[in-house]
Amino acid sequence: MPEQNPIGPVDSSRVPRFAGFATFARLPRIDQVERADVAVVGVPFDAGVSYRPGARFGPSALREASRLLRPYHPELDVSPFAETQVVDAGDIALNPFNIGEAIETLQSEAEALTADGTRLVTVGGDHTIALPLLRAAAKKHGPVALLHFDAHLDTWDTYFGEPYTHGTPFRRASEEGILDTEALSHVGTRGPLYGKRDLEEDRRLGFGIVTSGDVMRRGVAETVDALRQRIGGRPLYISVDIDVLDPAHAPGTGTPEAGGMTSRELLEILRGLRDCNLVGADVVELAPAYDHAEITAIAASHVAYDLVSLLSLGKSA
């Protein structure tokens, strides 16, 4: 049976961008296609936050902001929706009152969505969701390299005695052996910590750190080169907490920190990762209640678009 051409977005010259269904980039739903190479899926869950709630509304805000995205990516020279079948897989509903059950449900749903080779760009939701997504990726690919874009380390042990929160996913992932400890990097971290021990424990878990100040001083090209050397050809998962951006570029998030990266720096670093063996990604912590003029949602939608474009360049996991 001949392979069908991908079904792309709604034609904005025929249907205005402000009309119609609010799928990501106006793409088809997963039930409208026979197969999906890349699926954008929402996880409206924020029961793991430690400060401002509201990231449960992130997926819908990102989809709304994505209406303006266009089908050709000039910087990467790719038409991602023509190269691969990209779909919107809707939202995965999780129990907001039971974090343990929510984590188990998300891992199971992610494994089901990727069983046939579909790769995910997941939109949160808070950063708790990274752990089950990494579990699902490692089950398919073995321990994965990780690039973690974030203002914070997210390798703390517990909050109020609880081991599963938005500040603990990468500690749990390292302890579980689902990360390749030779290829782990935080990017964009900054701000005060609880103590120097935070850095020492983070280093013990295998992480390298590129702070937002490092990006400013070294520039994008040198940063990308260092990250690519650390990653090599390993299966790569990218996790983007939108608070990696300075509050001037992303006010709509739960735990903002001054001194962050610009949206241009983040996008250029992501684009520098073309040809890496990307197997999955997430964009989390978009909290639209604090997002005046949709600044954060617009930035997050472009991050998701770049991640989809990188996956389309890879074509196969």
Does residue 241 have a known ligand-binding role?
yes
Structure tokens at 262: 């610009």
Give the containing element (helix H, strand E) for 140: helix 130-141
Give pLDDT tens digits for 279-299. Answer: 999 999 999 999 999 999 999
Question: Quick one: pLDDT band at residue 206, thresholds 50, 70, 90?
Answer: very high
| Predicted pLDDT of residue 1 | 39
Does 152 count as an annotated binding residue? yes
Q: How far is CA 5 from CA 34, 77, 82, 305, in A?
A: 11, 19, 8, 20
Q: At residue 13, does pLDDT exceed 90?
A: no
- Cα distance from N-terminal residue to C-terminal residue, the chain: 22
Q: What is the pLDDT of residue 291?
A: 98
Is the pLDDT at 47 greater than 60, yes or no? Answer: yes
Judge whether 141 is annotated as a binding position.
no
**Confidence (pTM):** 0.97
pLDDT tens digit string along 59-101? 999 999 999 999 999 999 999 999 999 999 999 999 999 999 9
What residue has token string 């990468």? 170
Residue 315: which pLDDT band, with cuts at 50, 70 and 90? low
Is residue 150 marked as binding? Answer: yes
Residue 233 DSSP code: T
CATH architecture label of 24-314: 3-Layer(aba) Sandwich (3.40)
Residue 83 burial by Cβ neighbours in a 10 Å radius (0-12, 13-18, 19+)? middle
302 is in an annotated binding site: no
- Coil, strand or helix at 263: helix
Q: Is 154 annotated as a binding residue?
A: yes
Residue ranges of the domains in the chain?
Answer: 24-314
> Which residue shows structure tokens 């996913």?
169
Rounded mean pLDDT of the chain?
Answer: 96
Phi then psi dihedrals of residue 16, to 5 deg:
-55, 150
